Structure 1
Amino acid sequence: MANTETALKEATTAIEGAVGAALVDYTSGMALGTIGGGKDLDLNVAAAGNTDVVRAKVRTMELLGMQDEIEDILITLGTQYHLIRLLKGRNHSGLFLYLALDKQRANLAMARHQLKRIEADLEV
């Protein structure tokens, strides 16, 4: 089992093209941990903004009466992928992993696979 710091460090070192990562509580919009980012990617701002994305999608699914779960949400920019993975399990309710990737260096399928593995090992 990995703690937040270990999981985020693994996400940015083991996932090719990772620019930054955060563990976010989408009930409050607060980042519980961040790594990477930089002057062009403030992960605390990204955490708050992507909380709105997650809340909107969850609400839309409720309005549609969809009885399904969100695995991840992908936002494709010109130079980056932003991957949001909602965490499952009793200790992970209301949390998501956020990963920003350099589009030129990242393999999106592998990043999704590795983020799922990191989620499985995460103990919050």
Structure 2
Amino acid sequence: MSKSQLPLTPVEACNPSPRVREPLSAETAVELAVVFKALSDPVRLRLLSSIASRSGQEACVCDLSEGIDLTQPTISHHLKVLRGAGLLTSERRASWVYYRVVPGALRQLSDALLLESGAAAEMSA
């Protein structure tokens, strides 16, 4: 059978699903990509988790090297990346630097990925 003899099947028009919330803007996507890039390294995830799990979500740099088999300069580099991404702040106290999770930084990430309860239920079905 030649191509001209093949039966034509009608194509239905695309019927998009309704939005349950606005998608990320281009600007917000760029900002979040910087944060997610900073979090894409397992060492940085561990450092952030270590700080976030402490009282007041704050830790001295001297406490952060425990359990991480890296030199202090390498750990400091990773902390600098997390600071640059807006996830941490730092404060020098005498000869030590203390790092603190930026209030709301983790909430912003969560909110950016949060699905409406109805959409989440549909996706899990």
TM class, shorter-length: under 0.3
The higher relative CO (CA closer than 8 Å, separation ≥ 6) is in 1
Of Structure 1 and Structure 2, which has the larger fraction of its residues in helix? 2
Question: Normalised by the size of structure 1, how large is the TM-score?
Answer: 0.24
- The structure whose Rg is larger is 2
Question: Normalised by the size of structure 2, how large is the TM-score?
Answer: 0.24
Of Structure 1 and Structure 2, which has the larger fraction of its residues in strand? 1
